[in-house]
Amino acid sequence: MNIHTSLFDEQILEVENLQLGRSGSRAFSLVNGVSFSLKAGKTLALVGESGSGKSLTALSVLRLLPEPSVRVLGGSIRFEGRDLLSLNGPDLRDVRGGGIAMIFQEPLSALNPVMSIGNQLREAVRAHEKLDRKATDKRVIELLELVRMPDPERVAREFPHRLSGGMRQRVLIAMAMAGRPRVLIADEPTTALDVTVQAEVLDTLRGLQDKFGLAILLITHDLGLVADYASDVAVMYAGRIVEHGPVHEVLGSPFHPYTRGLLNARPHAGQIACGGVRPRLTEITGSVPNPLDMPSGCPFWPRCPVATGACQLRRPSLSPVGINHAAACFKAEALT
């Protein structure tokens, strides 16, 4: 795996000024001016609530958007120097699964219910390399071992419904690894799983990352997972990145009031009730804005505890607040 080591610290996926939405008579924008890059061996977490645009951003990288209702309206996505948005047909297939693989939230719906795990993995292997039957079977077992599947020979003969949620997700990771990808996009990979299984699946992903120098784009709503598994984080709100930086910077000294709100909204160690009166949680008032009815200025101002008149008039752009750390807030300076 020397090729991968040489790619360390190089940006293999660069998304620049991405715009997603619908043009034409009923135009609206769902993702606006999103930029980020992925480095080999690192995990970037894209964090946000429902409607923040995090999943659409992930889908757009593999050109899996639900077109024509949502399409790329602007920006660029570059993978190892190639412009993904201009790829077509075989070249695109080459990147999908080959260079970039993706796993989804609901593993059961991503597997064919009437085909054994082994056959589905065989198909995945054949899609990427020409091997004889024996070598294919060997590779299938190898992939299952790679994701720490217990008893891989038996699992290969099973059908998806016979496996637990965690095992299904590991089968999908194995499938994703069949093409030896350099980038793995994981869209809420553990949201449908139980906590004990969640940790195992994410540990498996991290193991693969260490072994192959995989760059991971982790889409999640759980800041706890971000703290545990990501190296960098981009916080999205209403289709824009509002704060971006190394995990310990963003979570340790958040600048954007939304990031602060999210961190405080979660009950944490100091608030255990133990029978007494519980301290109030800091809530973010209101709810996420409708993309058809976006507030003017900063999209967060109606819910922001520190908003001023200026926030309603102009939209703050992402500007540096520390080393590699940026936030889109006029008050970011004042908050320190």
We find the least distance from the C-beta atom of residue 309 to another protein, in angstroms, to be: 24
Give the type of residue at 271: Q
- In a 13 Å sphere around the CA of 114, the CA atoms on its Cβ side amount to 0
User: 86 in the Ramachandran plot: left (φ > 0), alpha (ψ -120 to 50) or beta?
Assistant: alpha
Q: For residues 290-319, which are near another protein according to CB under 8 A?
A: 303
- In a 13 Å sphere around the CA of 124, the CA atoms on its Cβ side amount to 31
We find the least distance from the C-beta atom of residue 319 to another protein, in angstroms, to be: 23
What CA–CA distance (Å, rounded) separates 242 from 51? Answer: 14
Find all residues with CB under 8 Å of 193, minimum gap 6, and list them. Answer: 165, 166, 169, 201
Among 269, 292, 323, 334, which residue interacts with another protein (rule: CB under 8 A)?
A: 269
What CA–CA distance (Å, rounded) separates 182 from 232? Answer: 17
Among 24, 25, 68, 277, which residue interacts with another protein (rule: CB under 8 A)?
A: 277
Among 247, 307, 321, 328, which residue interacts with another protein (rule: CB under 8 A)?
A: 247
164 binds another protein (CB under 8 A): yes
Per CB under 8 A, the segment of 10-18, 120-128, 284-292, 326-334 that binds another protein is: 284-292
User: 33 in the Ramachandran plot: left (φ > 0), alpha (ψ -120 to 50) or beta?
Assistant: left
320 binds another protein (CB under 8 A): no
Find all residues with CB under 8 Å of 15, minimum gap 6, and list them. Answer: 34, 35, 36, 37, 57, 61, 75, 76, 77, 78
Rg (CA), the chain: 21
265 binds another protein (CB under 8 A): yes
Q: Which is nearer to another protein, 100 or 193 (CB)?
A: 193
We find the least distance from the C-beta atom of residue 215 to another protein, in angstroms, to be: 17
Q: Which helix (H) or strand (E) holds 232?
A: strand 232-237
What CA–CA distance (Å, rounded) separates 29 from 56? Answer: 12
141 binds another protein (CB under 8 A): no
66 binds another protein (CB under 8 A): no
261 binds another protein (CB under 8 A): yes
We find the least distance from the C-beta atom of residue 129 to another protein, in angstroms, to be: 30
The tokens for 165 are 């949620």
We find the least distance from the C-beta atom of residue 12 to another protein, in angstroms, to be: 22
The residues facing 38 across adjacent strands are 13
Residues 36-55, mask of contacts with another protein (x by CB under 8 A): -------------xx-----
We find the least distance from the C-beta atom of residue 276 to another protein, in angstroms, to be: 8
We find the least distance from the C-beta atom of residue 165 to another protein, in angstroms, to be: 8
Q: For residues 199-238, which are near another protein according to CB under 8 A?
A: 199-200, 203, 206-207, 221-229
By the 8 A CB rule, do 315 and 242 touch?
A: no
Tell me which residue of 30, 33, 100 sits closest to 63, measured CA to CA: 100
268 binds another protein (CB under 8 A): yes
Binding site for another protein (CB under 8 A): 49-50, 148, 150, 164-167, 194-200, 203, 206-207, 221-229, 247-248, 251-252, 261-269, 271-275, 277-278, 280-285, 287-288, 303
